[in-house]
Amino acid sequence: MIVIPARNEGPRIGAVVREVRCVAPDVPIVVVVNACADDTEVQAKKAGATVITSGSGYARALRTGFIHALRVGAPWVVQMDGDGQHPAAGIAALQHSLKAADLVVGSRFMEGSGYPIPLDRNVAIQLLGRWASVCARQRLRDITSGFRAWRPDALAMMVADYPEDVADANVLVRAVRRGLIVREIAVPMRARDGGVSMHTTRSGVGFALRMAVLTGWEAVR
């Protein structure tokens, strides 16, 4: 199953769903709309996705989608963003990698990803990645990638107390500390096709500090 959290992605979500449908015609696509003020729900349904609703926030949307996937017995779950950054062609590689892992992350920082990131964001992600690696006791590179694949048993372990607000590095650290096998693979990604990234709606420094605290907490909780 493909789970796509989406907030105010009306101009983009239809193309995202159709691209997924082209490469995975038989895989259910679930778009989780949260606090939308535009026609995201309408466009997702037009493109052929199942639409469910969650409370406000990216993490809550993911948790709602994961619970739905477990309820219907999905054999695997790929989460991807609704802004067009994640190419549907990468789904197969993520799913295939679940044969040797519980959680697979599509990484922008491994050879072959070819994704340009602005310098300030790159530095922030790299620093947070190093801190998360210390907390997890495992090298973690792309700690903010939203392109991830999950085995259902791993999701079942995580979903009961899945974070309700932020779900980036802290989720990876929690997964590793709970004994899940977490791997990263290179996935080519694209620049966002318009709209506003959720990371730019907060103070960059404030968000980074908060994520550092939450990630550290996962190491001691």
**Other CB atoms within 10 Å distance of the CB of residue 193:** 13
pLDDT digit string (tens) for 144-174? Answer: 999 999 999 999 999 999 998 889 999 999 9
| Ordered domains of the chain (ranges, CATH) | 2-220 (3.90.550.10)
pLDDT at 97: 98
pLDDT at 92: 97
Specify whether the CB–CB gap between 33 and 3 falls below 8 A. no
pLDDT at 202: 46
**Other CB atoms within 10 Å distance of the CB of residue 26:** 5
pLDDT digit string (tens) for 84-124? Answer: 999 999 999 999 999 999 999 999 888 765 666 667 777 88
pLDDT digit string (tens) for 42-58? Answer: 999 999 999 999 999 99
pLDDT at 201: 44
